[in-house]
Amino acid sequence: MSRVFERLASRQMALGVWIKGGPTWVSTIARAGFDFVRPDMMFSSLDWGELHNIHRAAQAVGLTTWVRVPANPWLSGTEQLQVTVEVQRAFSIGIEIVGASIASARQARACLEVARDWHRSGTGEYPSSSETFAAMNRKGADVAVFVPHIEAGTAVHEIDEILALDGMRILMLAMTDLSKALGHPFEYEHAEVWRHVDSIVAKARTRGIAIAANMGYDYTTRERMAARVKRMHEHGVQICLMQGADTMLENFAKPLLTDIRAAVS
């Protein structure tokens, strides 16, 4: 079972960070104690070969890989299904959790259908008989999980329909652009933003759907990060995507270097 689902099964919060590339980050992230790594193909130069290496490195150290594939939910329209091509390719190389920023329930439904697909050739799996073909179509529930990322206004408007889709297990709230879509850009703690989060969490809970959310960029100290994640947990968020590994390094290194320069000046 994937480490993320082990955490959920034991009613513990799953924690992860995103990376823009670099398989060498993975073992460091694992040693730090995170549960998953999220390679970001949406806003980076990360390619499929590098993603493959990141995933293999994650498998070696017991981390769950959760990739975000490229999409543009703001400008591509609610009917465009190109995102399914990216989602299917990610599943085919063995990624356990594939996320995409979607614009509509139609796109989410199509991607959930892709998660049920049998193709696993990127992992070296090929059916050799009707029995093995049937088995590949019955792959375990934790083998391929699609997660809609909600950050476009059109997706917010269709949230009830998205939550009602068959096969939904995790829903991701992308807090920076979600707060913008709600009319309160970068105001993660705004009462209206929390009201929407609480409403979505409550609806998801009745369907057994776990809510994931990213921490946000406005938390740059260890104390503020810990307090933010605690509040998110209190509001029912079960999976927290913390800042990127590079962003966390920057935030922790800045005050350290300030102290060092003051001490040696």
Q: 261 CB contacts (<8 Å, ≥6 apart)? A: none
pLDDT confidence of residue 80: 93
User: 154-191: per-residue pLDDT in tens?
Assistant: 999 999 999 999 999 999 999 999 999 999 999 999 99
User: 44-103: per-residue pLDDT in tens?
Assistant: 999 999 999 999 999 999 999 999 999 999 999 999 999 999 999 999 999 999 999 999
User: 222-259: per-residue pLDDT in tens?
Assistant: 999 999 999 999 999 999 999 999 999 999 999 999 99
Measured between alpha carbons, how far is 136 from 144 in angstroms, rounded to an integer? Answer: 11
One-letter amino acid at 177 equals D
pLDDT confidence of residue 136: 81
pLDDT confidence of residue 231: 98
Q: 143 CB contacts (<8 Å, ≥6 apart)? A: 96
Asked whether 246 and 22 are in contact (CB, 8 A), the reply is: no
Instruction: Please give the domain boundaries of the chain with CATH numbers for all domains.
Output: 3-264 (3.20.20.60)
CA distances, 251 to each of 23, 92, 243, 246 (Å): 21, 36, 10, 9
pLDDT confidence of residue 131: 87
The β-bridge relationship of strands 145-150 and 36-39 is unpaired
Measured between alpha carbons, how far is 42 from 152 in angstroms, rounded to an integer? Answer: 14
